[in-house]
Structure formats: C-alpha cells, structure tokens
Amino acid sequence: MIHVFEPKSSIAHTSYVLLFILIDGSSASSTFRPNCTRPPDGVNFVYKADIRATFDILWSCLFTLLICTWTVQHLNIPDQSIIEDEAPPKWSLSQKFHALAQKKWSHFFPKLKWMLLTLLLPEFLLGKAFQDRVLAGRSWREMQPLAKADKVEWTLTHSFYANMGGFVLKAKKRHIKSGSEDVSFQKAYIFLDSERLYLARSGGESDLHKPILEHLPSITQDEIDDKSKGDFFVKATALIQVLWLLIQVVIRAARGLVVSQLEIVVLAYSVCTIITYVLCWSKPQGTQIPTAIKLPKPVNVDLLELVSTVSRIDCLHSLPNDGRYDKASSLFLPKEALQTLLDDGFVIGAVVFGAVHCSAWNFHFPTSAEKLLWRIASTLSTGVVPLYYVVLLYDFHVKKFRFLSSYLWFFENVVVLSYMFARLYLLFEVFRSLCFLPPEAFLTTWVQQIPHVS
C-alpha cells in the first residue's frame, strides 16, 4: 500500500473546515489521503484497507446514534380526534388531502420530537421506561384476581398496553352532566390507564360505586402484538450497529489502539438504549388505534370521577408521553420526599450515561487542559444528579427554616447549571477531539470486516 500526504488542498479538507469550525486551523491544516495500489490481474477477493478515515468514524457514530434514538421510542397511543375522523363526502379534494396529510404526519412529528429529546437527555427516556416497567408490573399483579374471575388473559403486555392508552371507553351522542353545565360531544374517548381500568371494573373500595364494566376486555397478547408496528428490520439494524460498536471499542481497547471520544459518547447512548429496550421488552410499539370498550350506560360525572385519577379533562384526552399523569412514589425514598418513579429512573440513567463517559478518563486530548475539563465534566455528569436527588430528599425539611432556604435554593441552581455546562462541554469536546486523534486511532482491526454502516 502506498500512502500519499497532501497538504491543505482537497475537498475533504474543506469539509473539515466547515464541520469543525471551532478547531484551531494551524493545528488541523493538513489531510492524509491513503491510496492503494491496483490489485494485480487474477485477484478475485480484495480486503478493506487497514486504516479508517476520520469520516468513517464520524458517519458510523452518527448513524448509530440516530438509529438508536429513533427505534427506542415506545410512544403512547395518539389522540383519536386526528386518527379516526373521517372526511365528510362534501369535502373538496384539497381538504381531503390536507386531512390525510395531517393524519399521516401526526405519527411522525411526535416521534421526531421525542427522538430529539432523547439526543439531548437520554436519561429521561430511560427514566420513563423505568417508570413504565414498574407500573406495568404493579398493574399485572393487581389485575390477576379480576382476570381470573373474568376468565380473560392479562399479561405484562396488557398492563403496558393499558398504560399507553390502549383501552378506551367509547361514547357516541351522549352528554356529560356536571350540575348545571352540560358538555356535549358526538364522539368521546375516555382513556383508561391500568388504574382507571381497575376502578371501572372493580368499582373501587367504596360500596357506593358499582362496577362500570362487567368484565375486563377480552383481548389476547397475540392480538395486542399484532397491533404493534415496531419495524423488525430497523430494530435489527440498530442492534447490529450497536453490537458492532461495542465489539469495536472492546477489541481496540484490548489491543491498545486508540478509541475516539465520539465512539465513547455514542456507546453511552447505546447502553441507555439497550437498557430502555430491556425495560420496554413487553411494551407494544407504534400502536395507533386503541381497543374501544362500549359503555353499558350513559356517561356522567360519577363515571368520570370513578375512572379518572386526575381530572375530567385528562380522561378525555390521550395519555401524555412525558409521564406527568403518574405521581407514583419513589422506590428508594420515603413518600414524604415527593420523588417519583420517573425521578428514580432519571437518576439511574444519568449515572449510567455519565459513567460511560468516565471510561475516556485517560484518552488522548488536544491539550492537557481539555483532558482535565473532560474528567471534571464526566464526573459531574455522573454524580450531580444523584447529589441533587439526595438534596431534594431533605428539601421539605430545610424549607422550614428560612435562613437555610436561600442557601438550598442557591445550591440547587448551582447543581443544575453545573450539570448543563458539563453536558455541553462533553458535546463540544467529542467533535473537537475527533480532529486531533493520534495515528493509532486510524488503524483498523478485524471488526471492520463485520457488516455495518459507516
């Protein structure tokens, strides 16, 4: 193999300048383009060159990052006002096209929004998955006596399905009466999470309420799985890409070859993705239409008060994806601390995400100051959220003393700001360091022969 050194002038160099504009030009003013000799006649199989380019690292990492954050989304069932409204026959062609476009894009934009949120805060999605898994487990245990009495199947998948808005009470041409106020509607979907469904079936603990439903919905796990629209090919591609990255990092570390900071960051996202996948293993994905349960009697305030654990308007809208409808107490702290399952999961996600960054503790950096800043930022990213979690545990005690409240407020803001700046620095440094990698970072291993996207 013949390697040719080219100073400055090349299309690749221009791309570097545009992509890494924050880099010191005097330090990154040259490129290296390897040229291989043409194989002789009679050769039928040619191996890949034994080096990798900077853009090979960049594109493979970005693809892994995007496909992980896209496929990991397990969103709740959307609002049915868009999904099921049919175009009146008198609509013009343009009106029908607009309605169809709105219906189609209503699936895409929420997923895109949560993908972008996952890129910014992967620990939040892991925390939401942790909350969903714990609540589904509780619901599964609570529903077993009712399912046995009704002779219907109720699995962990059923609990996930219920908590994502899979079961709705459907009413047509009814009225909701609340004193002197009448709320009319032609179509209403009263969304039931597992707790509301349990109350609707059992009647609650009070003898004043009779069960609204005569039995639990009769739907099998296979039928729920059939509603799931998770793309197996996309998930398989994401899994292969993540496994390839993991093997790549392990083999390079074992052989003493340099691993880039960008690969470590993407590995951190991948670890969070894998944990989220495990927590959501039984949760349907991409379901758009819920299972409707016909109401045995007209809708009234008594029914809404029974099945709604929050408010009337909440049960008339689809369940939000951010978990704010749930206020389940923390698994690890006393109830008076006010922390929730979502907080528990967020802390776990932050520790996992930050700890992977700490594995780059002794990596090569452009300057010693940047190495020190990386160590500080990765430590803060790992430890600040648990510290904040503990501080909030005693928050309600401290606020009893006014002279301590101001100090606590100041400390909480310092903690939040330090976490934000630490994450911003890590994001900046991974791309800056990519253009200052030592030559050993570009040597390849046999892992490069495994099918992957780069």
Q: Alpha-carbon distance 407 to 404, whole Å?
A: 5
- Asked if residue 128 and residue 4 are part of one domain, the reply reads no
CA distance 98 to 402: 57
Q: Which domain holds residue 42?
A: 1-46
- Collect all residues with Cβ–Cβ distance below 8 Å to 47 and sequence separation of at least 6: 449
Asked which of 302, 328, 354 is the last residue of a domain, the reply is 328
Contacts (Cβ under 8 Å, ≥6 apart) of 424:
none
Closest by alpha carbon to 423, among 348, 344, 371, 350? 350
| 219 and 264, same domain (yes or no) | yes
- List CB contacts of 66: < 8 A, sequence separation 6 or more: 115
Query: In this structure, are 59 and 41 located in the same domain?
Result: no
Instruction: For residues 133 and 171, state if they share a domain.
Output: yes
- Predicted local distance difference test score (pLDDT) of residue 431: 93
Question: Is 402 within the bounds of a domain?
Answer: no
Same domain, 287 and 199: yes
Give the type of residue at 81.
S
Alpha-carbon span 155 to 153, nearest angstrom: 7
Whole-number Å distance between alpha carbons of 101 and 368: 53
| Helix or strand holding residue 158 (H, E) | helix 156-163
State how far the Cα of 75 lies from the Cα of 160, in Å rounded to an integer. 11
Q: Given the DSSP bridges, would you call strands 291-294 and 167-178 parallel, antiparallel or unpaired?
A: parallel
- 216-222 — which CB contacts under 8 Å span 24+ positions? 216/143, 216/146, 216/147, 216/150, 216/152, 216/154, 217/152, 217/167, 217/291, 217/293, 218/150, 218/152, 219/153, 219/158, 219/291, 220/153, 221/153, 221/155, 221/157, 221/158
What pLDDT score was predicted for residue 160? 94
With residue 188 as reference, give the H or E element that holds it: strand 181-192
User: Same domain, yes or no, for 106 and 187?
Assistant: yes
- How confident is the chain (454 residues) per 10-residue block, as mean pLDDT? 41 48 51 81 82 90 93 84 50 60 70 91 92 92 93 94 86 48 51 82 65 85 87 84 92 92 96 93 88 69 52 53 62 65 88 95 94 96 87 65 67 86 94 92 86 77
pLDDT at 397: 62
- CA-CA distance, 162 to 52, in Å (whole number)? 48
Which residue has tokens 């009647």? 203
Note the pLDDT of residue 85. Answer: 46
- Same domain, yes or no: 24 and 171: no
pTM: 0.81
Are 41 and 92 members of one domain? no
